[in-house]
Amino acid sequence: MLTTIVSDLLLTDCFLIKGRIENKYMRLSQMLDEHRKYFLKVRDATLVDLGTRDRIQTPLLHVNIEEVLLAHELVDGAGDPIRSRLAQDGEKWQKVRVFYTGGLNVELAGEIRPGSYEVTDRSARRYFVMTNPKLRGMDFSGDADLELLGKMPYAILNKARVSYVYDFN
């Protein structure tokens, strides 16, 4: 089995994709917002089939950016100045439940900046960040790769793929 250094997670309707997004010189959330091509290049990619849990490994994978439901960057967030600034920001975070429907019906419960899922929000254009996400609707127990989805301190969500938002505020 091939061992690779993984820094990025992408969840689509069919696969959990682990690997390193090529030419990423900034935080993943900013890169996704500013990416203007149709495909992301993922190096040393492992695809985990969400239905069968089969794995495919490839040195280079092109992922259509519109297929991404959520993303996560596997880095130590403790020293991240952006997360630190958000924690000190006077803005109150709001509890929400976000639903994706389609090929994969999942729910994420967590906290977001007020209105960050709206089209008019300029702080997060195509994507927005949810802190302390709890993923429901799929079984990832017993699979080390899929269990990463249950341990994320934050998730970067694709606005265009969100079906419903239940805002508790």
Task: Report the alpha-carbon distance of residue 38 to residue 16 in Å, rounded.
Answer: 19
Identify whether residues 110 and 45 lie together within a single domain: no
- 120 in a structural domain: yes
Which pair of structure tokens corresponds to residue 168? 């508790």
- 1 in a structural domain: no
Residue-number span of the structural domain to which 163 is assigned? 78-167
Does 85 have pLDDT greater than 60? no
How confident is residue 6, by pLDDT bands cut at 50, 70 and 90? low
Q: Which amino acid, residue 34? A: E
The last residue of one of the domains, among 25, 41, 73, is 73
Q: What is the mean pLDDT of the chain?
A: 85
- 53 in a structural domain: yes
User: Can you give the pTM of this predicted structure?
Assistant: 0.85
% of residues, the chain, pLDDT over 70: 83
